[in-house]
């Protein structure tokens, strides 16, 4: 297992221009397409943190607050917010931007849980998260409560 890491060390950004094949006939991007991108961004942040392959084990509610349209540039920012022994939570922020006007809209935030896998596809211990700032500590405590709710179900 590698040494503990900060959430900044796991941060990844994914950007993609939304095309007609990503949308319905009203010009709204399919929620499933955004969910795919959210899962990719979360997995990459967790792989970067754990330096191993990961598998998705949980997705908290994903509420689409604003529509994403054809022609929007969607940027996802993901980073690890919580670590257990083998599991990690990633927070993924989704922003839609009109590249012409520059108008940016926060469309949703998602929290996903991943487990690190060893070479035999078994759960493996992962580096712990270093909490540098008060914001990091607050996000960690919120993530810990979400994890306790997940486990109690």
What pLDDT shows up at residue 1? 54
Q: Does residue 41 sit in helix, strand or coil? A: helix
Fold (CATH) for 5-152: Thiol Ester Dehydrase; Chain A (3.10.129)
CA dist., res. 84 & res. 91, Å (int): 15
Structure-token match 């469309």, residue found: 107
CA dist., res. 8 & res. 78, Å (int): 10
Residue 100 scores a pLDDT above 60:
yes
pLDDT digits 0-9 by tens, 16-64: 999 999 999 999 999 999 999 999 999 999 999 999 999 999 998 788 9
pLDDT digits 0-9 by tens, 112-124: 999 999 999 999 9
For residue 59 the two structure tokens come to: 């997705």
Domain boundary assignment for the chain: 5-152
């Amino acid at each position: 297992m590698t040494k503990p890491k900060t959430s900044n060390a796991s941060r990844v950004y994914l950007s993609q221009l939304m095309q007609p094949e990503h949308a319905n006939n009203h010009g709204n991007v399919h929620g499933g397409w955004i969910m795919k991108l959210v899962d990719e961004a979360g997995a990459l942040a967790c792989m970067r943190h754990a330096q191993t392959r990961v598998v998705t084990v949980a997705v908290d509610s994903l509420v689409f607050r604003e529509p994403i349209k054809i022609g929007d540039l969607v940027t996802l920012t993901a980073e690890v917010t919580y670590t257990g022994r083998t599991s990690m939570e990633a927070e993924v922020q989704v922003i839609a931007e009109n590249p012409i006007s520059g108008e940016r809209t926060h469309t949703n935030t998602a929290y996903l849980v991943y487990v690190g896998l060893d070479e035999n596809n078994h759960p493996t211990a992962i580096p712990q998260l270093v909490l540098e700032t008060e914001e990091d500590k607050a996000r960690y405590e919120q993530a810990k409560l979400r994890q306790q709710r997940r486990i109690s179900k």
